[in-house]
Structure 1
C-alpha cells in the first residue's frame, strides 16, 4: 500500500466487464523458481494452493502430436487438446456464427533437453521453446516444452495446470478465427493490446473448464478443488509487479487474469469474445513513485497497521451513516496469539460483544504479511471491519450471509482506496496479494463466530471482486 499517495481511477465504471489486448506470438512464459527463461514477461509467485488432479476417463493416444515421446505428459496434453477442440466444435458456431476450423498447422511437443530436436513453427531452434507453451498464428500451430514446462506445472500445481495452459493457447487460435490476426493488430494496434488478447484467452479457458465441470467432457473429469488449482496455476503467469498496462508485452496482473478466467467460467465464450478496450477495465498499474517502487509496494507490518486502521474506521463510519445508523469505532487490540474473543476467525477477529478488533501481531498475521505482502493484512482487516459495520447497521454477523457480506465489503473498501485520487491508496501488486490470500486462506470469509467460511477460494475471489468492481451495492448492505 501507499501512504498519502495519489492514485488514478481505472475503475470509474460500475460494470464487472471491461479491458484491452494484443496477440503478438501469444506466448505463455513460465518464470521457473531458479531462472528466467525466454522473454521474461511473467513471474512465478508463491503462496497458492496446490492443484487438484485431473482424472482422465480414458487417455488419448498422443500419436497425432508431432515430436511426441508417447509418455504420460504428452498423453495428458493430447487429452486436453482433444477435449478443448471438442468444446470449440460445440461452442464456436453458437458464439461466433460460423463452423469451428480445427488447428491445421500441427500440434508440437518439443524435448528442449535434446539438442537434435526439431524446432516447431515460429522458432529457429528447439531451445527457443524452453519454458514455453505458445500458439503460432502464422502457421496455425500449438507447441509446448515437454521437458521444462509441462512437467514443472504438473509437479507444482497438478494436472489441471497443464489443461489450463493448453486451453489458454487454444484460445489464441480462437482469436485468429475471429479475425484477431497479427495483420489486424498491425493495422489497429490500439484495438488489440496484448493485455486484452491475453485476458480473452484466459476467459476462453474459464469457459472450457466450466464445460468440463458440467460433465460434458469426453475424457476429462475435474474435481471441485480444481477451480482453486486453476487460478493458482494461472497467476503463475502474471506480469512482474509494476509493469505498465501499456507495455506491448503486458499479459496482466493476477487480479485481472483471474477476473478474466472467472468471467469465462461464470458467463460464456460469447461474452469472452466481446471483450474490447472500451468495455473491460484493468487494474494493472506501474509504480508512481521511486519510494513505492523501492519498497516493492509494501509497507512494513507495523506501519501498515498504523496507516490502515484509521482509514478503515473513516470508510466504514461514512458507510454506516448512509444507513442512518451510528458507527462506534471498534477498539483495536493487539494480541500475541491467535484471537479467541469470538470463535476461530484466524489472525484478525471481530469481537461482537466488545465491539473490538483483535489482531495477532506475533505470528500468523506478520507471517502472512511477509509471505504474501501488505495487502494480505489489509484484506483480513477490511473484512473484520466489515463485520463491525454489519453489526452497526443492524445486520447479522453470524451465518453464510454475514461471511459473504463481510468479504464483499472488503472488496468495496478496496475499490475505494484503489480509485481514490488523494491520500492512502493501493500500490501495484496489492490486488494480486488479495487474490493470493483469498485463494490460500478462508480467514477473510468467516463469520463472527469463526464458522460458515466461504469455500472454495474461487468463490471467495469472485465475491471480493464483485465488491471491487460493483461497490457496496453488490454486498447486500
Structure 2
C-alpha cells in the first residue's frame, strides 16, 4: 500500500437501518440478481468431500507425443479427456458449433533436451500452453506439473490444462469469441480463465468421468493455483503475455463458474479495461515505489488507515469506534487475531506482533506473512462490524461474515490509487486479500467471533461484490446489506 498526502474528498457511506432488508442488487460481472445462501456457492451446495481423481475411473486412452507414460502425464491426459468431453457438449449447446479435439498433445521435460513446439524450443520452458498455429496443447512434465501437483494437489494440474484448452475453444469459436489478431493478451487470458470456470462447474456437478471436486476446500485449491500463477505485481495489464493478477484471474474464473460459456465470450477489451484492477505499465511507477509494502505498526500508516476508515464508514453514532493497541477484556465477543472487535465498548483491539507478522510480505528464503493490505483489511473488517452494530444488524452468523467481507471490499474500492485517499492500493494488494481469504482463519470474512463460511470461493466473491459494486459508495454498501441477509 502507499500513503498519500490527500484525504478522501467524496461522500462517505452511511449504512442506515432504513436500508430495506431482503432487497437484492445486480453486481457488475455476474449473471444478474442472486439470492445468497449460507450453504451454497454460485447455486451449488458447499461441500467438503474429496477432490481429485475419481476412485475407480479408468485412464484415458489419449496419448501424448514425447510422453513418458508416467503418473503426471496420465493425470494430464485424463484432464484433457474430461475437458474435451465437456466442450464437445457445450460448444454445440452454447454456440451451435462442433468441438473438434485438439490436433496434437505434447509432453516434454523442461530439464531435458528441447523439442520444437510452436516454432520454439522447450528446453528450460517451465510452462503449459496452447499453440493455435498447429492446434497443439503442450505441458512440462518435468517441473511445472509436478510442482503444481505437490503444492496444490492434482486438481491444480487440471485447472492449468482447462485454461489452455480454453484457448483452443477461442480458436474454434473464431469470430464468435470476439478474438482477433489485435486482441490483447489480457482479454484472451481472462476468457480462458472464465472457460476453465465453466468446466469446473461441470465437474462440481458430478459430470466429469475422471475427476471430482468439492465446492469448499476443492475450489480453494483452484483459487490458490490461480494465485500461484498470477502475474507479478510489477506487470502491467497491457504487457505482452499478461494473464492478470490473482484478483482478476479469480474474478474471471468465478464468472465462468457462476455463468455459462456465453458469459465468457462476452469478455472483451471494453469489459476488461472497465473491470481490471491491474494497472497499466505506465501507471506502475506512481504507485509501486519504496512504500509498496508499509510497516503496519508504523504510527503514520495506522493513522492513514484510520483516516480512510472514518471517511468510508461513517456510523450512525456521534463517534467512530476506538482503535487501541492490545486486546482489552470483552464480555460479549471472542478475540480474533490480529484485530478484535468488542461491541460493548465499540473498540477495536490490535495485536501488533500478529499484525506485523501478517503484514510482512513473503520473500525468497523467508515465508513472512501475506502483506500490508491483508493486515489492514483485517482491521477494516472489524471496523465494518462497528458500522453494522450501529445500524442494528447482527454481529454473528454466516451472513454477518459475508456482509463483513463485502463491506471490506467497499473500503478497498474506495482507496484505489488516484482517488486521493490517505492510504492507497498498490500493485499486488488485492492479491493479498485473496490469499488471506483462502486461509482457514480468515478475518476479512469473519463475524465478530471469527466464524466464516467454509468456502474461500464464497468469501472472495463477497469481497469482490463490494469492491466492484456500481454506483456511489452508499449504493455499494446497500449491495452488501441487501445481498447478505
Normalization by structure 2: what TM-score? 0.81
Residues 218, 256 of structure 1: CA spacing in aligned structure 2 closer, same or farther, 3 A cutoff? Answer: same
Residue of structure 1 equivalent to 2:363: none
* C-alpha distance in 1 between matches for 2:347 and 2:383: 9
CA contact (8 A) 1:59 1:75 kept: no
2:122 corresponds, among 107, 126, 129, to 126
- Displacement, 1:95? 1.7
Matches within 5 A, 1:110-121: 110-115=108-113, 119-121=115-117
2:28 corresponds, among 5, 8, 16, to 16
Q: Deviations over 1:87-129 (max 9, x none)?
A: 001111122221112112x0111123332x6x2530443316x
Residues 79, 273 of structure 1: CA spacing in aligned structure 2 closer, same or farther, 3 A cutoff? Answer: same
Residues 291, 283 of structure 1: CA spacing in aligned structure 2 closer, same or farther, 3 A cutoff? Answer: closer
* C-alpha distance in 1 between matches for 2:146 and 2:61: 16
Deviates more, 1:172-181 or 1:193-202: 172-181
Residues 112, 137 of structure 1: CA spacing in aligned structure 2 closer, same or farther, 3 A cutoff? Answer: same
Q: Deviations over 1:382-418 (max 9, x none)?
A: 1111110011111111222221111110001111111
Residue of structure 2 equivalent to 1:85: 84
- Displacement, 1:449? 2.9
* 1:342 equivalenced with 2:333 (yes/no): yes
Residue of structure 2 equivalent to 1:177: 172
Q: Deviations over 1:163-209 (max 9, x none)?
A: 000000000000101216999633xx2xx211111011011111111
CA contact (8 A) 1:133 1:144 kept: yes
- SS where residue 158 of structure 2 aligns? helix
* C-alpha distance in 1 between matches for 2:173 and 2:329: 53
2:421 corresponds, among 423, 434, 441, to 423
2:158 corresponds, among 150, 157, 163, to 163
* 1:447 equivalenced with 2:443 (yes/no): no
Matches within 5 A, 1:176-255: 176-179=171-174, 185-186=180-181, 189=182, 192-224=183-215, 225-255=217-247
Q: Deviations over 1:420-445 (max 9, x none)?
A: 62232211111111111111242222
Residues 56, 337 of structure 1: CA spacing in aligned structure 2 closer, same or farther, 3 A cutoff? Answer: farther
* C-alpha distance in 1 between matches for 2:331 and 2:165: 49
* C-alpha distance in 2 between matches for 1:388 and 1:420: 28
2:270 corresponds, among 257, 265, 278, to 278
CA contact (8 A) 2:80 2:161 kept: yes
- Displacement, 1:16? 2.6
Residue of structure 1 equivalent to 2:72: 73
- Displacement, 1:235? 1.7
Residues 275, 124 of structure 1: CA spacing in aligned structure 2 closer, same or farther, 3 A cutoff? Answer: closer
Residue of structure 2 equivalent to 1:308: 305
Residue of structure 1 equivalent to 2:364: none
* C-alpha distance in 1 between matches for 2:381 and 2:271: 29
CA contact (8 A) 1:339 1:346 kept: no
Residues 62, 289 of structure 1: CA spacing in aligned structure 2 closer, same or farther, 3 A cutoff? Answer: closer
Residues 255, 296 of structure 1: CA spacing in aligned structure 2 closer, same or farther, 3 A cutoff? Answer: farther
Residue of structure 1 equivalent to 2:356: 366
2:322 corresponds, among 322, 331, 348, to 331
- Displacement, 1:306? 2.4
* C-alpha distance in 2 between matches for 1:289 and 1:141: 35
Residue of structure 1 equivalent to 2:392: 394
- SS where residue 475 of structure 1 aligns? helix
Aligned residues: 423
Q: Deviations over 1:49-80 (max 9, x none)?
A: xxx75123424245522122111101111110
Alpha-carbon RMSD across the aligned residues, in angstroms, is 2.7
Residue of structure 2 equivalent to 1:48: none
* C-alpha distance in 1 between matches for 2:132 and 2:176: 7
Unmatched tracts of structure 2, length 5 or more: 8-25, 31-49, 361-368, 470-475
* 1:295 equivalenced with 2:286 (yes/no): no
Residue of structure 1 equivalent to 2:18: none
* C-alpha distance in 1 between matches for 2:385 and 2:187: 36
CA contact (8 A) 1:337 1:360 kept: no
Unmatched tracts of structure 1, length 5 or more: 8-13, 19-51
